[in-house]
Amino acid sequence: MRKINQIIVHCTATRPDWWEKKTVDEQVKEVTRWHLDRGFSDIGYHFLVSRSGEVVQGRPVEKSGAHAKGHNSDSIGVAMFGGFGSDADDLATEHFTPLQLAATYDLIRKLQGQYNVKNENVIGHNRISSKSCPGFRVQKWLSGMKLSEATAKKPERTKPRQSKTVKASAATIAASAGTAVTSLSGMNETSQYIILAFAGLTVLFGLYIMRERIKAWTEGWH
């Protein structure tokens, strides 16, 4: 397997609606035909990304591509359909769909991890040639994508709200203790001690049950 040091991003320079009624495989075959007509042995790109975000394998990665003169031997070529009439300093969103850009970003990150390609070595064709391809500055675009990932709004963790079950348990304990204390009136001293002891045990047992419910509930929240 050859050593991969770079990932080079391209566009096919086709219009947004180019062959839109055709399947992605048919579109890839057409690009392959263009490259064969130019004398290539196969399609020049290793991966192509459709307008709908579908990623299709082109030339096998283990084979050098034909997409960036002087850089083919150690690079992977990734091309997005579109980019017709684009300029090197345009925004990526001007010429490519959100699904397409997201899929390309995910593909690049996957390839980086697989082949240990450094961030600074993910570049556009316009970085190493006078061409405008892919129609935006790849490093600037990648920085924006990484920033979006880092600042993506995460679900807010709110303080656990006491459940109705726990509230009901507390009310039941208080009511039981109150009933026991109220019934002391008119009893002799020994009976009062017995009732108070019973009320105390009831409260302790109730508090234990409530604590276990709260514990189980909060563990479920986490």
Print the SS3 string covering 77-118.
EEEECCECCCCCCCCHHHCCCHHHHHHHHHHHHHHHHHHCCC
Question: Is residue 45 among the annotated active site residues?
Answer: yes
Which of 10, 46, 67, 95 does the annotation list as catalytic?
A: 10
Report the CATH architecture of 6-150.
3-Layer(aba) Sandwich (3.40)
Domain edges within the chain: 6-150, 164-221
Angle at 95 between CA 90 and CA 96, to 5 degrees: 125
Among the listed residues 46, 67, 105, 133, the single catalytic one is 133
Closest CA to 82 of 8, 11, 9: 11
List 46, 71, 95, 125, catalytic entry: 125
pLDDT at 11: 99
Q: What is the CA radius of gyration of the chain?
A: 34
What confidence score (pLDDT) does residue 1 get? 86
Mark whether 133 is an active-site residue: yes
pLDDT tens per residue across all 222 residues of the chain: 899 999 999 999 999 999 999 999 999 999 999 999 999 999 999 999 999 999 999 999 999 999 999 999 999 999 999 999 999 999 999 999 999 999 999 999 999 999 999 999 999 999 999 999 999 999 999 999 877 665 554 444 333 433 343 444 445 545 555 554 455 455 566 655 565 566 566 656 655 555 555 444 344 433
The alpha carbon dihedral of 79, 82, 84, 89 has a sign of: negative
- Establish whether 131 is a catalytic residue: yes
Locate tokens 């316009």: which residue?
A: 126
222 is catalytic: no
CA distance 14 to 138: 19
CB-based contact 170:209 (threshold 8 Å): no
Q: Is 137 left (phi over 0), alpha (psi -120 to 50) or beta?
A: beta
pLDDT of residue 189: 61
pLDDT of residue 149: 61
Range 145-163 burial, b when 16+ CB lie within 10 A, else e: beeeeeeeeeeeeeeeeee
125 is catalytic: yes
Q: Which of 11, 45, 67, 71 is catalytic?
A: 45
